[in-house]
Amino acid sequence: MPVLKTTMEAPKSSRMPVGTLFVLAACLTAIMGYEGHKEEAYLDSVGVPTIGYGTTEGVELGQRVTAAEAEQLLLRDATQVGDAIKTCVTVPLHQYEYDAFVSLAYNIGGGAFCKSTLVKKLNAGDYTGACNEIPRWVYAGGQKLHGLEIRRERERKTCLGETMP
């Protein structure tokens, strides 16, 4: 007589070529939580005009967006960051690793992400070492920010597969 399992663990997916991964809703939701939402443009911690969920491209002080417009800007920006990651990451990733890297790169910029020690470690196959680089990115304008420390620790845990975004 076969034995039935009463509990099942969801298996971790295999790593996939980075070009086949996409920015998923869970990643966008995580970024929304980290960034917060502002309908009116403001100067961020380093003086860059910002709006919505952290959009900076083309933003001018006095500008306003609806919640729906902010979500569209987030999707556009996160997709651009995801595309930047695909240009510099040469190893396969789990979706959760990609999500963590998209969240980080969304905040620091695709260029900074691609030039980082994190990417060097990642492309050398040091996945754990790459994830453990995330907490180094806690400075803005030369100052360590507590909010970034919290975000980076969450991103690190997501990257390691300990929590999902």
Q: Any idea which residues carry the catalytic annotation?
A: 35, 44
Strand runs labelled E in the chain: 38-43, 49-52, 139-140, 143-144
Comparing CA positions, the residue from 100, 119, 92 lying closest to residue 15 is: 92
CA distance 119 to 132: 11
Dihedrals φ, ψ of 98, to 5°? -60, -45
Long-range contacts of 75-78 (CB under 8 A, 24+ apart): 75/23, 75/28, 77/106, 78/23, 78/27, 78/28, 78/31, 78/102, 78/106
Rg of the chain on CA atoms, in Å: 17
